Amino acid sequence: MAEPPVSVQDVQSLVRRKDEIEAQIRACYELLEDQKGVGMSEPLVDAEGYPRADVDLYQVRTARHNIICLQNDHKAVMRQVEEALHQLHAREKEKRARDEAEAQAEAVSRNQSLPQPFARVNAVTPGSPASLAGLQVDDEIVEFGSVNAHNFQTLQNIATVVQHSEGKPLSVSVIRGGEKVHLGLTPKRWAGKGLLGCNIVPLQR
């Protein structure tokens, strides 16, 4: 059976265990310090080979033994912490890669579902019919009245539709920021030139 994935809580619990072991090691060293500072390697016999009477031999031996065991435990826990952090990091990396792949796939499918634009707006005069209809610079036109990517040949196609639709609302669809936007545009005389007040350029196909 596969082991359950490591969680942040697991790592925190291991770190707490490590801190506890370190506290126990410190306590054992303090005990040795209290026993005339015998440390881990000071001899426990006197010059004549008799057990020292100035220290509690049992306590010293127990403390030394505990320190060795605790240091081994500490090494083992440190290895576990390292391994757990490595697993968490690898999983985070994997999740990031998966999220990026999903976002790309979503963007691709969104682009595939958008209709093909055939022209782009590269200028809109404030106060013009195009401006009042909400047309913006960099809008990519996918439908302009009856003109679309399938039947568009030259800008003359758009000019013809505009001339025949003076004073009548035209249905215009554009792609703006990756979304399809519908606008109602009524070509009419205004203070400026033409019936629209915007400049449209064909897209290179």
Q: Which residues pair with 170 in a beta bridge?
A: 185
Cβ density class 129-153: b for 16+ within 10 Å, e for less: bbbebbbeeebbbbbbbebbeeebe
User: Tens-digit pLDDT profile for the chain (205 aa)?
Assistant: 556 778 889 999 999 999 999 999 999 999 999 888 888 888 888 888 898 888 898 999 999 999 999 999 999 999 999 999 999 999 999 999 999 998 888 877 766 678 889 999 999 999 999 999 999 999 999 999 999 999 999 999 999 999 999 999 999 999 998 888 999 999 999 999 999 999 999 987 6
Q: Residue 98: count other Cβ atoms within 10 Å of its Cβ.
A: 10
Could you read off the pLDDT of 2-61 as tens digits, one per residue?
Answer: 567 788 899 999 999 999 999 999 999 999 998 888 888 888 888 888 988 888 989 999
Tokens standing for residue 70: 């605790």
Q: Where are the domains of the chain?
A: 8-112, 119-202
pTM: 0.48
For CA atoms 138, 140, 143, 149, give the dihedral sign: positive
Q: What 8-state DSSP symbol labels residue 190?
A: -
Pick the CATH number of 119-202 from 3.20.20.140, 3.40.640.10, 3.10.20.600, 2.30.42.10: 2.30.42.10
What distance in Å separates the CA atoms of residue 73 and residue 77, rounded to the nearest whole number?
A: 6
